Structure 1
Amino acid sequence: MTLAGIILGALATFAIYKHLEPTLPDVETLRTVQLQTPLRIYSADGKLIGEFGEKRRTPVDYDVIPPTFVKAFYAAEDANFETHHGIDVKGLLRAFVQLAKTGHIQGGGSTITMQVARNFFLTRQQTFTRKFSEILLSLQMEQELSKDEIFELYVNKIYLGNRAYGIEAAAQVYYGKSISDLSLAEMAMIAGLPKAPSAYNPIANPDRAMERRNWILGRMLDLGYIDDVAYEQAIKEPNTARYHGLQPELDAPYVAEMARAELLDKFPDLYEGGYRVFTTVDSHLQETAQQALANALLEYETRHGFRGPEQHWDLSSLDSATLQKQLKAIPSYSGLMPAVVTQVQDKQIQVRLADDSEVTVDWSGLKWARKNINVNSLGPVPKQAADIVTVGDVVRVRQQQAFADNAEDNPEGEVIWTLSQLPVVQGALVSLNPKDGAIMALSGGFNFYYSNFNRATQARRQPGSNIKPFIYAAALENGFSPGSIINDAPIVYSDPSLASGAWRPENSGGKFYGPTRMREALYMSRNLVSIRLLRAIGIETGIDYLSRFGFDPANLPRGLSLALGTASLTPMEVATGYASIANGGYKVSSYLINRVENVDGKVLVENTATEACPSCIISNQAVTPDGHPVAKQIMDPRVNYLLTDMLMDVIRRGTGHRAAALKRSDLAGKTGTTNDQVDAWFSGYNSRIATSVWVGFDQPSTLGRREFGAVAALPAWMDYMAVALKGMPEEPRQQPDGIVSVRIDPKTGERAAPGSDGIFELFQSELAPPELHLNAQGQVQKEIRPEDLF
């Protein structure tokens, strides 16, 4: 009977094998298996910006797995892994006994090889057919793959709780470090998770997790994997696991979201395919941009006073634990930490933070907090801390450098605590490489997690005087010169859409200055001159010219108000336009993604941006030396040179003169402020970098009567550019042929008479004022022109 039973069993097994064998997958495919790996986005210098995908997974090669970690898994899951041929006979016998007694398999008997077979090819359904298929696949795998390959597949595929798939992801999730940095106890803790990731989770079930960890350590000792000293040290180590969310190396969520959105329609498996996206942003400049914009917005808040506490709590009704829990529930943004006032003294307050620490805010960090009445009005200067807050107020505090006027109490450079508040004002900063439009840095607001609306690309605002350089360039292309005289005088246009029935544009401040040189009108931002220039060249001519820079004509008003910046443009569009001026007059488009690689490092997408290449234009080449398309020339080189020279005067002596503090001679730029100071701008550049900053409210309203572009936006531009330009040598601009310097009378724009006061001005050679004609007495004989007869 026994022999017959064995024969029948063997025949049955063979029959089952022949039945299942055609349906089994090819284990050779495991060599090229594609593990579901999240999308990862990096800066140009390789720092992680963001990760998108349901599964956190970072596949690792077997060679980088610490040997002790390998042994920990052997001890936990399969001590005979290195010697068996894919199956554990004793374990399988136990499984078949369960089948005979209960009618189904309850588990057990699975080697690491069998788990790989199940995880990659089969379901977890406890059936005889599935178990037999698992055995057959395991036997095949041991024939086709090495032990190292099988183990590598195993530790990269397994689910280990908290969205972590694979050991590297688990190490990051539970301990915030790589597998190579784990202690023996931490390795044993992770090795205990595959059996039941929820039951043995060191965060959710720390007691059971510690029991399993210690059992594994004991097994490692018994199996000779570790010695007594290592065991005793590891067994005493406390459970240090806690949840570590994704920790990007670079805080640039606006950039990460832009990259993700751009690729969404291009890759159906975007969140699972293991794509690596390398952007154009420079990590150092990106950090600088975000901080520069945040500082400018917080300074605006300081200028406009304290709006009061966010909440008020009755501290007598809250115990310490409850108080801390409530504080932890309030998120911090960009260093602005929630705090509750616990003591109010004469010139200082004590506040409690979410980490249960107490800090002191001295008078130097409080005295700014006059009451905010509205954007144009503040309450009286506070005389004591009680004029500002009371015990139980929930406020924001932050650390910052002491300012020079605080030096008596706080020496320059000392970090102090100061009262603060979340800004209601917002802004954007965009910085581009003029050569090809690559985004070097971008911030779409104060903080992405406070408001994820990306104002750099999504906010359409009026650029105000930031549009004027493009209007002036159009005028220079159409017969005007920097020395042209235009009358800065009142003008009235009929406009039935206005209540008054007429449009009466004014300069900032309401003054008019009469005949004004075009250069001076630009650096002093005279509105009436801009209007007359646009009227002279024609609105359609102006719109056509602006469209060269990428501005959509649909967003440009077909009226003279265009000259004052009533278009609807994003900061990205404005920065891109300035980049084309900065590079010498070549049309470039902004772009963010430099390349996309698959999980194997193969480049799938690479940027094909056009590049400014003056020498290529001269030699009639369509491709640059590095293989990029040549950008189209959209400005006469002479016009570009003259415009930049005029915009340099904005910084040397005009509305952007504060930027002269950067002490560079190669900077040009333009302020911009719309009616009632609703939008504030500064855009500026040299040949290597073009940056635009916008500040305003999301729901358009006045920033305040003194909040011009030079006040609200320029400080962020300066803070950013000071870092971006550090170590960058100044590059003198090459004057193109066809430019002449002529000494003129600044009042008339004509050549200066001998012996008279005059200034030198630059002209396109064919537009230079004509030579003076002197009579016999040496006096200027004015040439009568046809237009002088009327």
Structure 2
Amino acid sequence: MNIIISILFIIITILSIIIFKVKGLLILIITLPLYIIYLNSNKIIDIIKKKKEGNNKDNLLERKEVEFVSSSSRRGKVNDDKNKKKKVKPQNKKQANKSRDKKEKSSSKKKGIVRKILTILLGFAIFCVFAATAFMIYIVVSTSNFDPNALVNQDQTVLYDKDGNEFATLGVQKRESVTYDQLPQVLIDAIVATEDSRYYQHNGVDMARFLKATALNLIGRDDAGGASTLTMQTVKNNLTKKDSLETNKIKKIIRKFQDVYLSVFFMEKKYSKEEILEFYVNDSCLGGSVYGVEEASKYYFGKDVSELSLPEASLIAGMYQAPNKYNPYKNPDKAEERRNTVLKLMVRHGYITEEEMKMAQAVSVESMLVGAKADTDYQGYVDTVIDEVEKLTGDNPVVVPMKIYTALDRSIQDGINDVLNGTSYTRWANDSVQAGIAVTNVNDGTIVAVGAGRNREGKRTFNFATQAYRQPGSTAKPLFDYGPGFEYNDFSTYTLFNDEPWTYTNGPSVGNWDNKYQGLITLKQAVSVSRNVPALKAFQQVDKKNIAKFVSSLGIDIAYSTKDENYKEYDNGGDNILNEAYSIGGMSYGVTPLEMAEAYASFANGGYHIESHAVIKIEYRNSDETIVTSDLKEYQKEKVMSDSTAYLMNNVLQYAVEYGFSGGARIYGSTVAAKTGTSNLDAATCKAKGIPIGSVGDLWTVAYTPEYSVALWYGYKENDSTHYLGSASYPKDDLMSAVFKNIPKTTKKWEIPSSVVAVTVEKETWPAQLASEYTPDSMKITEYFKKGTQPTEVSQRYAKLPAVTNLKSTKEGNNYKLTWNFKTPDILDSAYLSKYFSNSVYGNQSANYLQARLDYNNNTLGGFGFGIYKKTSTGNLELIDFIDSKSTEYTYKPTSNGSVDIIVRAEYKNFKDNASDETKITISANNVKELEISLSGNESISVTKGNYNEKGIIVKYDDKNVTLLSDITYTLNNTTYKSKSELEDEINRLETGKEVEITYSATYNKITKTITRKIKIEE
């Protein structure tokens, strides 16, 4: 055992001196006494034993002396004691030896116990030293080499547009590094008092604070704190920053010891306190992308750091703990509270007096700020790039120098900037109303321009294009209703819906924006005028899992249930589980303009989703590492819908721009598709905030061309009694028009893919049917179908009617009775029509649609029946009569002798296009009484103006005058008069020199004859 202990002691001593050099002797000072005590433990025990026996003898002599003194007064008793002692027998030799052995054994046993205790203590001490040494060895080995260059950021990050031109810089130049001499004493005092009060006394680590914090961290105390000195924070910020966000408690402690190691053995050895403080104030983040005290001084107070006052210096010193939390632009109340804490610490450590503290606290934070200013016209785009790079790489480009190549199109971005700042668009309602705009390239997913908001000051402030999650209103319909319908339910652009009173599945009713219903309507029409009822019906027809799958594939997280991977719960208490309210844009959380532009781009590019991104390439300036985003998996094209679905949606939304609600996106000479959206504030919100019922919260237009996708949101960040959108008129369409003027025009068209066919169908047929040869043009419409789902059956509604059969003639006196047979088509059968209109597409209005069809047939077409015609000598047909379809016989009365061809045709009274083929029968008439008509007066006469007197005509039948029994009319200039006086009045109004012709028509016994007379007006 002695050999083992000795070897361990020598090893520990040598390692300590090798690793820690002179400081390793401290370990020797601790372990050497223990080692010596261990080796001499037997001697030490014997010495202690002898000392104890000597003490026992001295005590015995003292007792005897006391007894002797006291015996003089008790002689008699002593004599008695002596007599008794004489009687005591002395011990024999054997007993004496036995007693001595027993004492020696007890002594040896005690020595063994003591030796074991010393062995354990020494072993534990050596173990502790060994463990501590091993831990320190691990810290030394695992810590990166000290790199002085890492303390100074020499390069800046440069951003380039799509053409490779620089448009913004980030990094070192924004720090505007300062020297220690430029720092005001008040700032130095504030930082030291707040962050490291014993900064000038320690050698890099405040051991008391450090050990306390380490112990509290080990036991899991949340209030343990970091106990990092300014030196350690500088090390962390520049040398061990990769592990600064570590959450594992053991790893955090290891990282802290690495900070200690580098701080004590390198930083404090190599640099003075002033130099270390200079590093600290130049590299720390002080809110957003603001780094270093010089940049912070200018950003918050508009002055150099050397000019800072006590209230200003204490505010900056307070931000080091949590720069974004105490950002005075975002959280002025918290910033002021933190500043006051710093001032109290300065009083505690003797840097300022109580009176100075109170004077500084009396200055409000708001009064000190100059207002954040963007240092580039492209700040919104820059902020978008920074967020994307951080997400992509985990590195902040403000800190890590890079070359970032982006998709920024300056011509588009400049145009949007001019719209938002009021240069090219001046109809902003007030300074508070906001807009968020995102423009993406539909073919590669790149973000070419960002409209982050109006009156936007500062860096990385709220971005209305990428961070404003708002209710999308009707812009959700293509995504949640009709897109999935095309993809999974074979919807066509013609698919019919009945716009009627309707309800959600769970009971509440849904209405349209105009509180009206349009009845039977095609999908294309329903989208173009944004009807809500058809949208909900479409949603209800598609499997909800398919809807969630479709929308999620476009980059908008929607879950079918809580078990889905992308299920989310939001701070507002909602979640992203799909429900019927989504059909018209009633989402729990909302979407951003960038998300909408990205989603709609998948229609424009033929059905591919590409995650939107501003960055094309990243080059690290301090290494050879390069990231090309087009090579990354997340930015690859992913087929998310068929090309037929994409084309059908393009066709529908292009129709909306040209014939419906364009939302301001209609640009003549350019191919554009678009959908508008309006989100109303609910009644409870209106009541709570004093806003008129029916007010609007969000207005949208999402539009795209074959090249670009543009999403515009318009509204207020927060609605209140003075900030809301009215329900009557909006400037949003004018705003979108101003935006779209900056989008390059294109005459490129969406080519119809082979998976889609165009078909001319007859309106109001369901399922869709082909138009017949005789379908009126007003009842024809060309719609688009997925190939294989197009209609093949021809509609019979206007199809050619069947001809009558078995036409016969029977003479009855001077008349002829005609009879025939006819089979009524199904399309005209009332029983068939009743069944036809019971189809579910007609909803609850089946009876109304049946009656509407019957009324149309009777009034517009004129009712169905049979036309009785006579063929003239020129071969034309002359209508004799039209009879109702209920009868299949007719009595013909000849008007003259001789043969005549009689034609019977099945037809509508007004609509003749689909009349049946002619069925002819020839009748030979004789002894027929004829109707004769003649003029009273001359065939051509001249009269002076205002003196015309109508002579009339004479009508005879079988040589008898039947003028008074005949129905006589007078036609002049295409106007028919029934009396002579009306005719005379009209002619007497004619101007001198006018020549006209009167047509006289006389009808008697169903025989009609006509004759004409010419009139000339003279002076």
TM-score (norm 1): 0.51
Instruction: Give the one of 561, 582, 589 matched to 1:562.
Output: 582
Give the CA deviation at 1:259: 1.0
Task: Identify if the C-alpha distance between structure 1 residues 275 and 680 changes in structure 2 by more than 3 Å, giving closer, same or farther.
Answer: same
Give the CA deviation at 1:678: 1.3
Give the CA deviation at 1:257: 5.7
Instruction: Give the one of 473, 478, 485 matched to 1:464.
Output: 473
Task: Identify if the C-alpha distance between structure 1 residues 739 and 608 changes in structure 2 by more than 3 Å, giving closer, same or farther.
Answer: closer
**Residue in 2 that maps onto 1:734:** 751
Give the CA deviation at 1:564: 0.4
Give the CA deviation at 1:557: 5.0
For the 8 Å contact 2:827–2:833, the answer to whether it is kept is no
For the 8 Å contact 1:430–1:439, the answer to whether it is kept is yes
Give the CA deviation at 1:511: 0.8
Give the CA deviation at 1:432: 0.7
Task: Identify if the C-alpha distance between structure 1 residues 682 and 782 changes in structure 2 by more than 3 Å, giving closer, same or farther.
Answer: same
**Residue in 2 that maps onto 1:649:** 655
What amino acid is the match of 2:500? A
Deviates more, 1:256-265 or 1:520-529: 256-265
**Residue in 1 that maps onto 2:486:** 476
Give the CA deviation at 1:697: 1.6
> Does 2:438 match 1:430?
yes
> Does 2:701 match 1:682?
yes
Task: Identify if the C-alpha distance between structure 1 residues 35 and 743 changes in structure 2 by more than 3 Å, giving closer, same or farther.
Answer: same
5+ residue gaps, structure 1:
1-28, 59-118, 128-156, 164-171, 174-196, 200-242, 303-420, 496-501, 612-627
For the 8 Å contact 1:282–1:440, the answer to whether it is kept is yes
In 2, Cα distance between the equivalents of 1:526 and 1:126?
A: 71
For the 8 Å contact 1:517–1:746, the answer to whether it is kept is no
In 2, Cα distance between the equivalents of 1:770 and 1:786?
A: 23
**Residue in 2 that maps onto 1:514:** 519
In 1, Cα distance between the equivalents of 2:663 and 2:167?
A: 38
SS of residue matched to 1:487: strand
> What are the residue-to-residue correspondences of 1:536-555 with 2, within 5 Å?
536-554=541-559
**Residue in 1 that maps onto 2:802:** 777
Give the CA deviation at 1:466: 0.4
Deviates more, 1:467-476 or 1:517-526: 467-476
Task: Identify if the C-alpha distance between structure 1 residues 270 and 255 changes in structure 2 by more than 3 Å, giving closer, same or farther.
Answer: closer
In 2, Cα distance between the equivalents of 1:576 and 1:598?
A: 28
For the 8 Å contact 1:259–1:592, the answer to whether it is kept is no
For the 8 Å contact 1:296–1:715, the answer to whether it is kept is no
**Residue in 2 that maps onto 1:750:** 769
Task: Identify if the C-alpha distance between structure 1 residues 508 and 247 changes in structure 2 by more than 3 Å, giving closer, same or farther.
Answer: closer
Task: Identify if the C-alpha distance between structure 1 residues 433 and 494 changes in structure 2 by more than 3 Å, giving closer, same or farther.
Answer: closer
What amino acid is the match of 1:512? Y
> Does 2:528 match 1:523?
yes
In 2, Cα distance between the equivalents of 1:123 and 1:557?
A: 58
Task: Identify if the C-alpha distance between structure 1 residues 34 and 583 changes in structure 2 by more than 3 Å, giving closer, same or farther.
Answer: farther
In 2, Cα distance between the equivalents of 1:433 and 1:776?
A: 55
**Residue in 1 that maps onto 2:250:** none
In 2, Cα distance between the equivalents of 1:479 and 1:257?
A: 39
What amino acid is the match of 1:518? L
For residues 166-211 of structure 1, the C-alpha deviation after alignment (integer angstroms, 9 at most, x for no partner) is xxxxxx99xxxxxxxxxxxxxxxxxxxxxxx979xxxxxxxxxxxx
**Residue in 2 that maps onto 1:633:** 639
> What are the residue-to-residue correspondences of 1:382-421 with 2, within 5 Å?
none
In 1, Cα distance between the equivalents of 2:827 and 2:156?
A: 73
For the 8 Å contact 1:742–1:763, the answer to whether it is kept is yes
Give the CA deviation at 1:280: 2.4
In 2, Cα distance between the equivalents of 1:126 and 1:481?
A: 75
For the 8 Å contact 2:153–2:172, the answer to whether it is kept is no
Task: Identify if the C-alpha distance between structure 1 residues 637 and 698 changes in structure 2 by more than 3 Å, giving closer, same or farther.
Answer: same
In 1, Cα distance between the equivalents of 2:556 and 2:435?
A: 21
Give the CA deviation at 1:667: 0.7
**Residue in 2 that maps onto 1:605:** 627
Give the CA deviation at 1:767: 2.1
Does 1 or 2 have the higher relative contact order (CA < 8 Å, sep 6+)? 1
In 2, Cα distance between the equivalents of 1:639 and 1:562?
A: 20
For the 8 Å contact 1:433–1:689, the answer to whether it is kept is yes
What amino acid is the match of 1:290? N
Please identify the structure whose Cα radius of gyration is greater. 2
**Residue in 2 that maps onto 1:194:** none
In 2, Cα distance between the equivalents of 1:52 and 1:246?
A: 17
For residues 40-82 of structure 1, the C-alpha deviation after alignment (integer angstroms, 9 at most, x for no partner) is 3524243333524586469xxxxxxxxxxxxxxxxxxxxxxxx
For the 8 Å contact 1:582–1:686, the answer to whether it is kept is yes
Give the CA deviation at 1:464: 0.6
Give the CA deviation at 1:448: 2.6
Give the CA deviation at 1:553: 1.1
For the 8 Å contact 2:407–2:447, the answer to whether it is kept is yes
SS of residue matched to 2:431: coil
Task: Identify if the C-alpha distance between structure 1 residues 445 and 31 changes in structure 2 by more than 3 Å, giving closer, same or farther.
Answer: closer
For residues 597-629 of structure 1, the C-alpha deviation after alignment (integer angstroms, 9 at most, x for no partner) is 233684533213679xxxxxxxxxxxxxxxx97
For the 8 Å contact 2:670–2:746, the answer to whether it is kept is no
In 2, Cα distance between the equivalents of 1:262 and 1:699?
A: 29
Deviates more, 1:265-274 or 1:509-518: 265-274
For the 8 Å contact 1:444–1:457, the answer to whether it is kept is yes
What amino acid is the match of 2:757? V
In 1, Cα distance between the equivalents of 2:731 and 2:657?
A: 16
Task: Identify if the C-alpha distance between structure 1 residues 752 and 444 changes in structure 2 by more than 3 Å, giving closer, same or farther.
Answer: same
Task: Identify if the C-alpha distance between structure 1 residues 274 and 654 changes in structure 2 by more than 3 Å, giving closer, same or farther.
Answer: same
**Residue in 2 that maps onto 1:363:** none
Give the CA deviation at 1:636: 1.3
What amino acid is the match of 1:582? A
Instruction: Give the one of 606, 616, 639 matched to 1:584.
Output: 606
> What are the residue-to-residue correspondences of 1:117-156 with 2, within 5 Å?
123=271
For the 8 Å contact 2:467–2:592, the answer to whether it is kept is yes
In 1, Cα distance between the equivalents of 2:147 and 2:470?
A: 54
In 2, Cα distance between the equivalents of 1:775 and 1:493?
A: 43
> What are the residue-to-residue correspondences of 1:136-535 with 2, within 5 Å?
248=375, 250-253=377-380, 255-256=382-383, 258-260=385-387, 262-263=389-390, 266=393, 270-295=397-422, 299=426, 301-302=428-429, 422-423=431-432, 425-449=433-457, 452-470=461-479, 471-477=481-487, 478-493=489-504, 495=506, 502-535=507-540
SS of residue matched to 1:734: coil
**Residue in 1 that maps onto 2:677:** 672
SS of residue matched to 1:683: strand
Task: Identify if the C-alpha distance between structure 1 residues 780 and 521 changes in structure 2 by more than 3 Å, giving closer, same or farther.
Answer: farther
For the 8 Å contact 2:611–2:635, the answer to whether it is kept is no
> Does 2:173 match 1:46?
no
